[in-house]
Chains A and B, each alone.
Chain A
Amino acid sequence: MRNLLPALLLFLAPFGAAATIHLDSLSPTLQTPLVRNAVSKIRETLAMPLPIRPLEAVTLGDNQIAAQDIVLRNPDMRSLCFDSTGKNPFRMEVFGVMPVRPSDYSIAPECADGSCYRVEIYNYATNSTLLAIVQLSQRKMLRMGQIGQTQPDIPAHLKDLALHIATESPEVAEALGFKPEKDKMLMADTKTALNRTRCERSRHLCVAPTFVKGNKALWVIVDLTDLKVAGLRWTMVGENVPTPTERRAQNANITDCYCKKTNIIERDGWKLNYLLTSSDGMRVSEVDYQGKRVIKSAKLVDWHVSYSGTDGFGYSDAVGCPFFSAAAVLAIEPPKIYDLIENGQKAGFVLSQNFFSEGWPTPCNYNYEQRFEFYTDGRFRVSAASLGRGCGNDGTYRPVTRIAFEGTQNQFSEWTGDGWQPWQKERWQIQNASTKYSTKGEQYKILDPQSGAGFAIEANTGQMNDGGRGDQAYVYVTRNHPELDEGEADMITIGPCCNTDYRQGPEKFIEPQPENIGNGTELVFWYVPQLKNDSRDGQKYCWADAKIVDGVYRTTVYPCFSGAMFVPVK
């Protein structure tokens, strides 16, 4: 039938059908009322003068409705909704309307009074996100920018639609041997990819509701652009032990105390601000050591979790606040601050934040730890760990960390074995078996050549005494552009889940024309370790399971901590 369709359409054309045949027009295979209704809404929206589907008012508060309304009524919006001819509308949809957080103030300082909202609109045609900041008190849009190859967190109605498609599609029931229940499917709102499908090739918006069956997980890759199942894949999730879940009650204070408000720590020679972002984990900013600013900000942008190098599927997780968030892995408990012990002695302090999905440590649930270590001697480390268990036992975690350094004249150099070689342009590099380290274990330096002050960067090769086995990290150095949306404010997911090469997201701020950084400038250091999980006895890593202790099952965790050490040079 597939091959007959074009011929049939050609036959019909002389009788009044459109002369152009769009073989790939939206035609979901699943024809349920919910899917048909979704298609109708898409077509209705495309016929509107401003073809952007808003979030339905019943799902929003008054301020959110007002913010969305301000953006959609802005006269500049229309030009962004059509192709270059001005005739063909793009399919666009509001995905989120949320209060502007302190982490966004850097791009919208007018919002410090708390009167602003952030509106995220996804463009399915260009796979880009339109980000608008509106000020309710002035009823105006302060700024708007489009970020290519990015996908915001999906709204609840799309998660429901994905679950519906996953549970109703006959191929899913055939694969499982029964029709799955919606509430048994996990990670339904987490973005994914799949090689050789439009999720990968056309950058469609895809999510992966996942069903655990015994010691396996069935991944239902749902293409929300085409409203159909793009593919099914199985993974092994490890030995099926009756693992107790570690459900925790959401701490009521997190939103008010750590998401809406910036906190300050001052101890051990350090002073810094910290807050929980919507989707970039814990963010520290304005970090001073001995009264001197050293870091502008540091945060955890994405978690890329890949379960197949060849098929290219997995999750692109965002971690952040439970407040106005669609992320599946959330901050449940407040951040912790505690003494840092090194060689049995107090050596500084740790600021840590845990992100947790409620079924952890059962399969297809996640637990991440973000840890900032500040040493009294001026060293610091930005660390990220997976505590398992995840949705496969042969996957790779790639957390994307962004550190913006203080200073406008910084230069970046790498150790070549013979000496320090400055980087002249923005670029990336991978840490591998051939990487050279100085006798002190240093791989890079970031320095202001005038003052000679800065940091040497010691690669993590498994020497950090935290169980980490080394990072095999991708490093990217970019010029900081606070005026552009390159990560100073809260970032939406910047990279796909499952690229196995340097394309983890930060490269989009380098390519196609890397800027010159050789003469000294404001630098951003991106760090993407590659942590391969393991469920084998004696080798468990990025893993969690249960063991019988005192006659009952207790959770055992095998974290994989990552992160380089920054050592002050002067």
Chain B
Amino acid sequence: MLSLGYWYRIGLIMFLLGGCNRLNLRDHAEELPLEPYLAELGRHLFFETRISANQTKSCSSCHDPRFAFTDTYRRSSGLYGDMVMHNAPSLLNTRFFPSLGWANPTQHRYEEQILVPLYRDNPPEMGLRSHTEATALENSKFPSFDTVLRRLKSDSLYIRLFKSAFPSSGDHFLSQQAIAAIVAYEQRLVSFQSPYDRFQEGDTTALSDEAKRGMSLFFSELFACGQCHPPPLFSDGKYYNIGLCDAAQDTQHLGMYQYTLNASDLGRYRSPSLRNVALTAPYFHDGSIATLSEALAVFESGGKPHPNKSSLVRPFPISAAQRYELLAFLNTLTDSTIFANPWYQDPF
């Protein structure tokens, strides 16, 4: 059986290779440039429904802090009720991942990712037209971000927030400024204060005996959960086909293939972080699994046959007691301080 220390060392190596120069991600998060006005503007914009075409959707509509920045839908719903392609992933700690989202390995920057919900029209999420499209389609019913900025400019709150964040810009609000502010906010969404973290810091009472046994199982060679979900993120950020769907369902579950057009990437999705996993049901890229127990059952069974299925996913025997222990450990990854942190709350 591989020890917990082994997995921590793996995590350390991964982040050193990834450019991080500190093991403790919480400390690393605190090293962000101190731009409180920018992030405060971003927080308001993150929860602002006027940012969508019909003024009903905000970023928080799909990334609600009450659900660890997810939304409880199987697949999120756009402003006209259409279901988008994927289950809403948590935004917590995303700044430490090499790529953003479920399936696109080339999407590294928040500034690029945020354009997807803002401007995508198949289906529309926020329902905006990009500036180029809006110019080409003057009579389009989809407003551009300029319309959003005009809405915000009529509100004294945003005049103050923009001026504080961009003191040299005068009265001009720019879409790039708004996006930079939201990015600054999202980069500060970190969560490393779970009972598990307290245990790692030496508080031996932070985990129950049952959870400690579950932790051993999690990192054991037999269950090997920690192989794709290593601490500290409880994700290695890599892409796997776990056999959630069989090959016959490929057209609905393209995974990385959608971006690489490589057949071996069909059905491969990024390993999600298990931090706060108890708060983020339903599970997997399509939200098809309702509960944590059922999610565990997918792995117990070894998944469905698929030519791309990872060899790491294979059936394993588990007793009822072990299942409880594993679930008890997963529950210790819940960071309840996110509910009390005013920074994470809706300002409106």
Q: Please list the residues of chain A having a beta carbon within 8 angstroms of any beta carbon in chain B.
A: 2-3, 175, 196, 216-217, 231-236, 308-311, 394, 417, 432-434, 436, 469-470, 472, 500, 532, 534, 536, 539
Query: By the criterion CB–CB under 8 Å, are A234 and B79 in contact?
Result: yes
Given A394-B75, A433-B278, output 9 extra A-B contacts at Cβ < 8 Å: A175-B54, A309-B67, A309-B73, A310-B64, A310-B67, A433-B291, A433-B327, A434-B327, A434-B328
B72 contacts A500, C-beta separation under 8 Å: yes
B38-61 interface mask toward A, CB cutoff 8 Å, 1 = contact, 0 = none?
000000000001000010100011
Report B334-348 CB contacts with A as 1/0, cut-off 8 Å: 000000000000101
- Alpha-carbon gap, A469 to B154, bound state (A): 50
- The docked-state distance in angstroms from the alpha carbon of A539 to that of B327 is 25
Asked if B292 is an interface residue, CB under 8 A from chain A, the answer is yes
Tell whether, in the assembled complex, residue A500 and residue B66 are in contact, meaning their CB atoms are under 8 Å apart.
yes
Q: How far is the CA of A37 from the CA of B278 in the complex (A)?
A: 51
Task: Determine the distance from Cα of A472 to Cα of B281 in the docked complex, in whole angstroms.
Answer: 12
| Main SS class of interface, A | loop
Q: Is B21 an interface residue (CB 8 A)?
A: no
Q: How far is the CA of A231 from the CA of B52 in the complex (A)?
A: 14
A235–B81 alpha-carbon span in the complex (Å): 5
B156 partner residues in chain A, CB cutoff 8 A: 3
A245 to B137, CA, bound (A): 42
Q: With A196-B346, A394-B73, A434-B324 in contact, do A216 and B80 touch (Cβ < 8 Å)?
A: yes
Given contacts A236-B81, A433-B292, contact A310 B56 (CB under 8 A): no
The docked-state distance in angstroms from the alpha carbon of A546 to that of B140 is 37
B291, A3: Cβ atoms under 8 Å?
A: no
Take A310-B60, A434-B324 as given contacts and tell me if A236 and B66 are in contact as well, using a CB distance cutoff of 8 Å: no
Sample 26 A-B pairs with CB under 8 A, ordered by A number. Answer: A3-B154, A3-B155, A3-B156, A175-B54, A196-B49, A216-B80, A216-B81, A216-B82, A232-B54, A232-B56, A233-B56, A234-B81, A236-B82, A308-B73, A309-B72, A310-B60, A310-B61, A310-B64, A310-B66, A394-B74, A417-B210, A432-B291, A433-B291, A434-B328, A500-B72, A532-B282
> How far, in angstroms, from A59 to B72 measured CA to CA in the complex?
44
Cβ distance A463 to chain B, nearest Cβ, rounded Å: 13
A196 to B288, CA, bound (A): 29
Q: Which B277-304 residues sit within 8 Å CB-CB of chain A?
A: 278, 282, 288, 290-293
The answer on a CB contact under 8 Å between A434 and B331 is yes
Q: Is the CB of B71 within 8 A of A309?
A: yes
The answer to whether the Cβ of B77 comes within 8 Å of any Cβ in the partner chain is yes
Query: What residues on B are CB-neighbors of A310 within 8 Å?
Result: 60-62, 64, 66-67, 71-72
Inter-subunit contact B64/A309 (CB<8 Å): yes
Q: Which residues of A contact B324 (CB under 8 A)?
A: 417, 434, 436
Whole-angstrom distance between the alpha carbons of A394 and B155 in the complex? 35
Measured CA separation A387–B67 after assembly (Å): 28
A308:B327 contact, CB within 8 angstroms: no
Q: How far is the CB of A173 from chain B (nearest CB, A)?
A: 13
Report chain B residues within 8 Å CB of A196. 49, 346, 348
A236–B60 CB distance below 8 A: no
Which chain A residues border B82 with CB–CB below 8 Å? 216, 236
Taken together as a complex, chains A and B put the C-alpha atoms of A217 and B82 apart, in Å, by 11
Q: Count chain A CB atoms within 10 A of each CB in B66, B81, B282, B324 and give the residue with the most.
A: B81
Q: Which residue of A lies closest to B67 (CB)?
A: A309
A306 smallest CB distance to B (angstroms): 9
Contact residue among A231, A433, A500 (Cβ-Cβ distance under 8 Å from B293): A433
Residues in B neighbouring A236, C-beta threshold 8 A: 77, 81-83
Contacts of A216 in B (CB 8 A): 80-82
Distance to closest chain A CB from B122 (angstroms): 15
Question: Which chain B residues in 95-147 approach chain A with CB under 8 Å?
Answer: none
The 5 A-B pairs with the shortest beta carbon distances in the complex, nearest first, are A234-B81, A309-B72, A310-B64, A433-B292, A433-B293
Complex: chain B residue closest to A461, CB-CB: B293
Q: How far is the CA of A432 from the CA of B71 in the complex (A)?
A: 18
Q: When chains A and B are docked, how far (Å) is the Cα of A55 from the Cα of B61?
A: 40
Report how far A234 CA is from B71 CA in the complex, Å.
Answer: 16
Specify which chain B residues have a CB less than 8 angstroms from the CB of A417 in the assembled complex. Answer: 210, 324
Whole-angstrom distance between the Cβ of A453 and the nearest chain B Cβ = 30
CB nearest neighbor in A for B296: A433
What residues on A are CB-neighbors of B328 within 8 Å? 434
Across-interface contacts of A434 in B (CB, < 8 A): 324, 327-328, 331
Given known A-B contacts A309-B67, A310-B64, A235 and B293 have beta carbons under 8 A apart: no
* Cβ contacts under 8 Å, A309 to chain B: 64, 66-67, 71-73
User: In the assembled complex, which residues on chain B have CB atoms less than 8 Å from the CB atom of A469?
Assistant: 290
Q: Specify which chain A residues have a CB less than 8 angstroms from the CB of B61 in the assembled complex.
A: 310-311
- Give Cα A436–Cα B210 distance, bound, in whole angstroms: 12
Query: Does B81 contact A532, Cβ atoms closer than 8 Å?
Result: no
Collect the chain A residues with CB atoms within 8 Å of residue B73's CB.
Answer: 308-309, 394
Q: Tell me the complex Cα distance, A231–B58, Å.
A: 14
In the complex, the answer to whether B331 meets A532 with C-beta atoms within 8 Å is: no
- Which residues of the other chain, B, contact A234 by a CB distance below 8 angstroms? 77, 79-81
Interface centre among A216, A432, A534 (most CB of B within 10 A): A432
| Chain B residue at smallest Cβ distance from A177 | B141
Nearest Cβ on chain A to B344's Cβ, whole angstroms: 14
* Residue pair B77, A394 in contact (C-beta under 8 Å): yes
Closest to A534 in B: B74
**Smallest CB–CB gap between A119 and chain B, Å?**
39
- Of A2, A309, A436, the most chain B CB neighbours within 10 A belong to A309
A89 to B: closest C-beta gap in Å: 31
Complex: how many Å from CA A131 to CA B115? 53
* A500 CA / B72 CA spacing, docked (Å): 9
- Taking the nearest CB of chain A, how far is it from the CB of B213, in angstroms? 12
State how many angstroms separate the Cβ of A176 from the closest Cβ of chain B: 11
A473 to B79 alpha-carbon distance, docked (Å): 31
| Chain B contacts for A433, CB-based, 8 A | 278, 291-293, 327, 331
CA distance A231 to B49 in the complex (A): 11
CA distance A536 to B287 in the complex (A): 12
